[in-house]
Amino acid sequence: MSRSLAEPWRLGGVSIPNRVVLAPLAGIGNWFVRLQAKRHGAGLVVSEMVSSFAVHYRNERTCRELLRIHPEEHPVAVQLFGHDPDVMASAAERVAAAGADLIDINMGCPVPKVCKTGAGAALLEEPERAVALARAAAGGSGLPVTVKLRSGQRPGDVSGLEVARRLVFDGGVVGISIHPRHASQRHKGAPDYELARGLVQELPVPVLISGGLHTAEQVRRGFEQTGAAGVLLARGSLGNPWLFEQVLGRRASNPGRAEILAELDWVLERAVEHLGEDRATRYLRKFYPWYVEQLGGGRGLQASLQTAPTLAAARALLHGEALARAA
């Protein structure tokens, strides 16, 4: 019997309508990006990586902006990172109060400024601490806890698999997301889906896969090849939320120019709602390249958008380009 990504399932008792998940996207996955993924079909959405220390010490911007959850996002997981179990428990309690349905802990981020604190992929070398963090998050929040990790730190290192086992059998986590590349690869090279398949077959909890999933065909192939419980869409969905619909079989075609511009207008409006006009103008500069690529725009448009002084100016550039191409 063939499996379907459109099938509902449960993760730690939380009902999820399908098996396509928005992955945590550092510096990007705020409430409106998650809501966008939901609008296009994501069954579960995960927040960008949030510092447990910032939440514990009640950093005002972190708590106001990164813990903001829209009523239409659910089910939603908030991803925390950190190295101190007591701080993790405190942060998890605050995340639960903010309305999250699950907590995810990052144990795979390869960025040096994260790893040097003992968090992220550094935890692959500290399984006891990893287990303590998972237990602390569950104890502090009362919510189901999942973990996202890498297969290892460097070529040939599969320490992430043993950490995953410990997290499930000793830490009580209800699910594992595996990015089957070692941390030193970052996002380069082919993910080792056979390695992920072995973990899927071994663990008694749902295992999801991440990495290298940029097209609907790649997503379906990875899902079938590994037997994973679900898939996490990350970089492949940036500027392309229609990928969720394509993966779920709800559409076959790519979006047209008018649809892309309308979606980007929605993003601009939500960014202003989230950050105010001035901050949104700067923040959205990281978004424009993804949508301009979808539009088939060139370097000139990209450069102009990066220096647009206002959102009105950015809109004029985008819609002016569209009119010029339509003429």
Same domain, 117 and 211: yes
DSSP for 38-81 reads: HHTT-SEEEPPPEEHHHHHTT-HHIIIIIT---TTS-SEEEEEE
Nearest to 241 by CA among 89, 71, 40, 98: 40
Residue 2 lies in a domain: no
Same domain, 192 and 321: no
* Final residue in a domain of this structure, among 247, 271, 286: 247
Residue 3 lies in a domain: no
Look at residue 212 in the predicted model and tell me its pLDDT: 87
Same domain, 236 and 295: no
pLDDT of 147-160, one tens digit each?
999 988 888 889 99
Q: What is the CATH number of the domain that holds 180?
A: 3.20.20.70
Look at residue 323 in the predicted model and tell me its pLDDT: 45
Examine the pLDDT at 322 and tell me if it is beyond 70: no
> pLDDT confidence of 188, banded at 50, 70, 90?
low
> pLDDT confidence of 295, banded at 50, 70, 90?
very high
Stated pTM of the model = 0.94
Examine the pLDDT at 68 and tell me if it is beyond 90: yes
* Final residue in a domain of this structure, among 216, 247, 278: 247
**Domain count for the chain:** 2
Token digits for 215? 């097209």
Same domain, 240 and 272: no
Same domain, 176 and 305: no
**Is 63 in the active site?**
no
Beta strand segments in 53-165, E: 76-81, 102-107, 145-152
Domain of residue 212, residue span: 9-247
Same domain, 19 and 108: yes
Catalytic residue among 21, 37, 109, 247: 109
Distances in Å between the alpha carbon of 5 and those of 8, 45, 127, 277? Answer: 8, 15, 32, 38
pLDDT of 92-111, one tens digit each?
999 999 999 999 999 999 99
pLDDT of 249-292, one tens digit each?
999 999 999 999 999 999 999 999 999 999 999 999 999 999 99
Residue 193 lies in a domain: yes
Same domain, 204 and 111: yes
- Is residue 234 within 8 A of residue 25, CB to CB? The reply is yes
Same domain, 279 and 232: no
Average pLDDT of span 161-174: 97
Token digits for 71? 């009523």
Same domain, 90 and 177: yes
pLDDT of 8-51, one tens digit each?
999 999 999 999 999 999 999 999 999 999 999 999 999 999 99
Same domain, 121 and 261: no
Examine the pLDDT at 247 and tell me if it is beyond 90: yes
